[in-house]
C-alpha cells in the first residue's frame, strides 16, 4: 500500500509495553486515515463505560495518506479520544509539523493507553521508541517543553505536549504543537486525557518519505493547483483568519455579548488589519502549506508586554473579543498566549469568561466568587485575569475551567447563559447569520463545531460543484439545510481523514482534486462517489459511537438563545433558525430514523458492521 506505512504504534503506559499493530488493508481503504481510522480505533477499543480520564481510554494520534507528502496543506494530524469535557466522541485536527514528522518517523499513528505513575515522555525516532521520565518538564509550559525537546533531540524534533492545564486535568485543556508557533488540538479537553496518563509530551524525529504511487502525477497536480490556491486565498495569507473579523460583524456572524447581539462597531479594533499594523512580525506556515495563515506577533512593551508567538485567530477574537465585548487587541492576544502556553482551548476559555460576565451582570456571580475580579462586560483586565486562573486551574479558574456546560451545574439559574451543544461551546459563527450552521452545530459528533461541516464556507464564497452547488447558497434560502450538511460533513470528514486543511476549499479544491491526489499518492483508483461514501461511512461511525452512549435526537439541539432571540441588527434582521424541520430533512438523507438513529440498512450499506480487531 503506497502512501501509508501500514503500521501503527501502540503503547501502554501502565506496564510500558510497546507494540506494533499492522492493520488489515481494508481498514485503510474503508477509513482512509486521520479522523476515519482514529474513530474506528476508538470505537473498537472503548465501550460505553470507558472513563475518559481512566486508563482504558486511549488517546490516538493519526496521520493520513497525504501527511508527509507534497499535497498542499497536508501537514496535519488528528487526535481522537473519548472527551473528558463532553463525555462523548471527541476529536481534534491540528496543523503544524508534528503530524508530518510522526509520519516521517515511519508510523501511520500512535495509540497510547494506560497510565504512568510518574510523568513521562514518549520519544519516537524511526524504529526506536522509548518511554522516558519527565519529572523535570512537569509544570513547564508548552513553549518551554517544545524548546527542551529540540535541545535534547535536535532541531528537527517535533512535539505534541500539554501545559499546566492538562497536568491539572482542567476539562477545557488542550494539546499544543510547534512551540511558540502554536498549532493547538484545541477542542474536547484532550490535554486532560494526556494529563491523566501523566504523559507530558510525545516527541518525534524522522525524515523518511513515505513511498508515493505516482510522484509525477502528484507533481503535475501540485503545479496546477498551488498557484490557484495561493491566488484565491491571498486574503488569508495577508491578514490571517483574523482578516474576516470586521466582515463577520457586519454580516451578523460574530458572536456579540455572549450571543445576545449581532452588531458591535468595536469589532473594527480587533481585525487582522489592526494586528498587521501593530503587533504582527511575520506569518508562518504549517508543513506543505502554500497559504501561511499563521500570525507571529510580538508585544514588546505596555500593559500586555511579554508576548512573542502565535497571534489570535478569528475564532479567538470572536469569542474573547466580541462575545466578551473586549475591544483591546493586545489584551486578547495576551489571554490567547496564556492559553497557548498552558494548553487551554481559547474558544472554551473565552466562552466561559463571557458566561461569567453575564452571570456577574445578573448577580449570579460576585467579585467575591471570582477571587476579587470584577467581571464587567468589556473588561480586558477581567478577561486576562480569569483566563490566567483557568490556565492554572486555581481559584475561580476551577469553575470556569469546567466549560460552560459544567458551569451551569455549579451556578443555579445560569443555564440560559451557557451557549453549547452536547457540552462543547459554540465557536464564532452564528446560525442566525448562516442558517445551515444550525443543523451543523446540532449534529456535529463532537458537539458544536464549525469545521465538521463548515457550511458557512458555502453560504459565503465556496462551492461544491460535484454535489450540485455550483454557486454559494444564498443566505436564508428556505429548505436544503440538511442536504447541504450531509454533503459538507462527508467532504470535511474526508479531508480530516486524508489530512488536508479546509482552507483549501476557498482555494478551489474539491472532491475532484482530492480524488486526483488520493490516486497519485496511494495508487488506488477511486471516484467522487466512492470518496463521498467513505466520508459518509466515517461520519456515521462517529454517530454510532454516540448512539452507543445513549445519544439521539434529544441531544441534537441548539441553545435556547440561538433559537429564540432575534437580534434585529443590520446583517441578520430578525432571523432565528427553525431547527426541527431541518433535522427531519437531514435525518432522511442520512438514512436515520426520526430519533436520529442510523437505520439497519444504512449501517449495512456503509459496511459498518465489519470488525477490524
Ligand atoms: S492555511 Fe493555515 S492552518 Fe491551513 S495548513 Fe496553511 S498555515 Fe496551516
With a 6 Å cutoff on the Cβ, whether 292 touches ligand 1 is: yes
| Number of the ligand 1 atom closest to the C-alpha atom of 285 | 7
- Of all protein residues, the one whose alpha carbon is nearest to atom 2 of ligand 1 is 293
With a 6 Å cutoff on the Cβ, whether 162 touches ligand 1 is: no
Question: What is the C-alpha to C-alpha distance for residues 232 and 221, in angstroms, rounded to an integer?
Answer: 17
| Number of the ligand 1 atom closest to the C-alpha atom of 290 | 6
Residue 501: its pLDDT value, please?
97
For 240-422, CATH number out of 3.30.1490.20, 1.10.569.10, 1.10.287.70, 3.40.50.300 equals: 1.10.569.10
Residue 612: its pLDDT value, please?
56
Residue to probe by mutation, ligand 1, list 69, 241, 294, most atoms within 8 Å of CB: 294
With a 6 Å cutoff on the Cβ, whether 457 touches ligand 1 is: no
Cell numbers at 128, concatenated? 526506536
Residue 127: its pLDDT value, please?
87
With a 6 Å cutoff on the Cβ, whether 294 touches ligand 1 is: yes
Q: Are 59 and 112 in contact (CB under 8 A)?
A: yes
Residue 567: its pLDDT value, please?
87
Which of 417, 460, 452 has its CA nearest to residue 435? 460
Question: What is the C-alpha to C-alpha distance for residues 533 and 608, in angstroms, rounded to an integer?
Answer: 12
Q: What distance lies between CA 467 and its chain's CA centroid?
A: 25
Write the DSSP assignment of 309-363 as a string of letters. Answer: EEPP-HHHIIIIIITTT---HHHHHHHHHHHHHHTB-HHHHHHHHHHHHHHHHTT
Residue 537: its pLDDT value, please?
98
Domain positions in the chain are 8-205, 240-422, 436-605
> Which whole-number Å values give the CA distances from 296 to 279, 292, 308, 311, in the listed order?
9, 11, 7, 6
Q: Which residues of 473-500 are buried (b: 16+ CB within 10 A; e: fewer)?
A: bebeeeeebbbbbbbbbbbbbbbbbbbb
- Domain 436-605 CATH assignment equals 1.10.599.10: yes
Residue 481: its pLDDT value, please?
97
Question: What is the C-alpha to C-alpha distance for residues 493 and 445, in angstroms, rounded to an integer?
Answer: 11
Task: Kindly give the distance from the C-alpha atom of residue 501 to the centroid of ligand 1, in angstroms, as a whole number.
Answer: 6
Q: What CATH number labels 8-205?
A: 3.60.9.10
Residue 126: its pLDDT value, please?
87
Low-confidence residues of the chain, pLDDT below 70? 610-613
For 554, phi and psi rounded to 5 degrees? -60, -25
Q: Are 155 and 101 in contact (CB under 8 A)?
A: no
Helix ranges restricted to H, 393-462: 397-400, 403-410, 436-443, 456-460
Residue 611: its pLDDT value, please?
61
Question: What is the C-alpha to C-alpha distance for residues 181 and 121, in angstroms, rounded to an integer?
Answer: 21
Cell numbers at 37, concatenated? 481510522
User: pLDDT tens for residues 141-169?
Assistant: 999 999 999 999 999 999 999 999 999 99
With a 6 Å cutoff on the Cβ, whether 286 touches ligand 1 is: yes
| Cα angle for residues 154, 147, 134 (degrees, 5° grid) | 90
Map 57-103 to HEC letters: CCEEEECCCCCCCCCCCCCCEEEEEECCCCCCEEEEEECCCHHHHHH
With a 6 Å cutoff on the Cβ, whether 329 touches ligand 1 is: no
Question: What is the C-alpha to C-alpha distance for residues 72 and 50, in angstroms, rounded to an integer?
Answer: 37
Query: Do β-strands 120-125 and 199-205 pair in parallel, antiparallel, or remain unpaired?
Result: parallel
Helix ranges restricted to H, 549-611: 560-564, 579-590, 600-605
Question: What is the C-alpha to C-alpha distance for residues 177 and 169, in angstroms, rounded to an integer?
Answer: 18
What spatial distance separates the first Cα and last Cα of the chain, rounded to whole Å? 19
| Number of the ligand 1 atom closest to the C-alpha atom of 292 | 7
Write the DSSP assignment of 124-154 as a string of letters. Answer: EETTEEEEEE-TTTTT--HHHHHHHHHHHH-
Following CA atoms 368, 370, 373, 376 in sequence, which dihedral angle do they give, to the nearest 10 degrees? -100
Question: What is the C-alpha to C-alpha distance for residues 439 and 431, in angstroms, rounded to an integer?
Answer: 9
Half-sphere exposure of 144 (CA within 13 A, CB side): 13
Residue 45: its pLDDT value, please?
95
User: pLDDT tens for residues 234-265?
Assistant: 999 999 999 999 999 999 999 999 999 989 99
ipTM of model over 0.90: yes
Question: What is the C-alpha to C-alpha distance for residues 337 and 330, in angstroms, rounded to an integer?
Answer: 10
Express as a percent the part of the chain with pLDDT over 70: 99
Residue 109: its pLDDT value, please?
98
Q: Are 104 and 206 in contact (CB under 8 A)?
A: yes
Question: What is the C-alpha to C-alpha distance for residues 283 and 177, in angstroms, rounded to an integer?
Answer: 17
Amino acid at each position: 500500500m503506497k502512501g501509508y506505512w501500514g503500521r501503527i504504534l501502540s503503547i501502554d503506559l501502565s506496564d510500558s509495553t510497546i507494540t506494533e499493530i499492522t492493520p488489515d488493508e481494508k481498514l485503510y481503504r474503508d477509513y482512509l486515515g486521520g479522523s476515519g481510522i482514529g474513530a474506528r480505533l476508538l470505537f473498537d477499543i472503548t465501550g460505553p463505560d470507558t472513563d475518559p480520564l481512566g486508563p482504558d481510554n486511549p488517546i490516538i494520534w493519526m496521520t493520513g495518506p497525504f501527511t508527509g507528502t507534497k499535497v498542499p496543506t497536508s501537514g496535519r494530524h488528528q487526535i481522537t479520544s473519548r472527551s473528558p469535557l463532553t463525555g462523548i466522541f471527541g476529536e481534534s485536527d491540528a496543523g503544524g509539523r508534528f503530524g508530518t514528522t510522526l509520519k516521517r518517523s515511519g508510523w501511520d499513528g500512535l495509540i497510547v493507553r494506560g497510565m504512568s505513575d510518574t510523568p513521562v515522555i514518549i520519544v519516537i525516532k524511526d524504529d526506536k521508541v522509548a518511554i522516558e521520565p519527565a519529572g523535570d518538564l512537569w509544570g513547564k509550559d508548552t513553549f518551554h517543553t517544545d524548546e527542551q525537546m529540540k535541545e535534547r533531540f535536535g532541531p528537527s524534533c517535533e512535539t505534541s505536549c500539554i501545559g499546566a492545564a492538562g497536568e491539572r486535568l482542567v476539562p477545557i485543556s488542550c494539546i499544543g504543537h510547534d512551540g511558540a508557533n502554536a498549532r493547538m488540538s484545541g477542542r474536547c479537553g484532550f490535554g486532560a486525557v494526556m494529563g491523566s496518563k501523566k504523559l507530558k509530551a510525545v516527541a518525534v524525529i524522522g525524515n523518511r518519505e513515505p513511498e508515493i504511487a505516482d510522484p509525477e502525477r502528484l507533481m503535475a497536480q501540485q503545479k496546477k493547483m498551488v498557484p490557484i490556491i495561493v491566488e484565491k486565498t491571498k486574503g488569508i495569507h495577508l491578514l490571517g483568519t483574523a482578516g474576516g473579523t470586521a466582515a463577520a460583524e457586519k454580516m451578523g456572524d460574530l458572536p456579540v455579548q455572549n450571543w445576545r447581539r449581532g452588531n458591535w462597531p468595536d469589532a473594527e479594533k480587533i481585525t487582522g488589519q489592526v494586528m498587521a499594523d501593530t503587533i504582527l512580525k511575520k506569518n508562518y506556515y504549517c508543513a506543505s502549506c502554500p497559504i501561511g495563515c499563521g500570525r507571529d506577533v510580538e508585544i514588546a512593551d505596555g500593559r500586555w508586554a511579554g508576548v512573542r508567538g502565535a497571534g489570535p485567530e478569528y475564532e479567538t477574537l470572536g469569542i474573547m473579543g466580541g462575545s466578551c465585548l473586549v475591544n483591546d487587541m493586545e489584551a486578547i492576544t495576551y489571554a490567547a498566549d496564556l492559553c497557548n502556553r498552558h494548553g487551554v482551548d481559547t474558544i472554551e476559555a473565552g466562552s466561559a469568561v463571557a458566561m461569567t460576565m453575564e452571570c456577574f451582570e445578573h448577580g449570579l456571580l460576585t467579585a467575591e466568587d471570582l477571587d476579587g475580579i470584577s467581571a464587567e462586560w468589556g473588561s480586558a483586565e477581567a478577561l486576562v485575569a480569569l483566563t490566567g486562573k483557568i490556565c492554572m486551574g486555581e481559584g475561580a479558574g476551577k469553575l470556569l475551567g469546567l466549560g460552560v456546560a459544567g458551569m451551569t451545574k455549579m451556578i443555579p439559574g445560569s443555564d440560559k447563559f451557557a451557549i453549547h451543544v452536547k457540552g462543547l461551546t459554540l465557536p464564532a459563527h452564528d446560525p442566525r447569520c448562516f442558517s445551515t450552521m444550525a443543523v451543523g452545530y446540532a449534529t456535529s459528533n463532537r458537539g458544536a463545531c464549525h469545521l465538521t461541516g463548515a457550511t458557512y464556507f458555502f453560504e459565503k464564497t465556496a462551492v461544491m460543484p460535484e454535489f450540485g452547488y455550483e454557486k454559494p447558497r444564498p443566505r436564508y434560502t428556505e429548505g436544503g439545510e440538511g442536504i447541504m450538511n450531509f454533503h459538507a460533513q462527508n467532504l470535511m470528514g474526508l479531508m480530516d481523514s486524508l489530512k488536508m486543511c479546509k482552507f483549501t476549499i476557498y482555494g478551489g479544491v474539491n472532491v475532484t482534486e482530492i480524488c486526483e491526489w488520493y490516486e497519485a499518492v496511494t495508487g488506488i483508483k477511486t471516484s467522487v462517489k466512492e470518496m463521498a461514501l467513505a466520508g459518509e461511512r466515517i461520519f456515521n461511525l462517529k454517530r454510532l459511537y454516540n448512539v452507543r452512549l445513549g445519544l439521539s435526537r434529544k441531544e441534537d439541539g441548539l441553545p435556547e438563545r440561538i433559537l429564540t432571540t432575534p437580534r434585529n441588527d443590520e446583517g441578520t434582521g430578525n432571523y432565528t433558525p427553525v431547527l426541527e424541520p431541518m433535522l427531519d430533512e437531514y435525518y432522511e438523507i442520512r438514512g436515520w430514523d426520526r430519533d436520529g438513529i442510523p437505520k439497519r440498512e444504512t449501517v449495512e450499506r456503509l459496511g459498518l458492521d465489519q470488525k477490524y480487531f
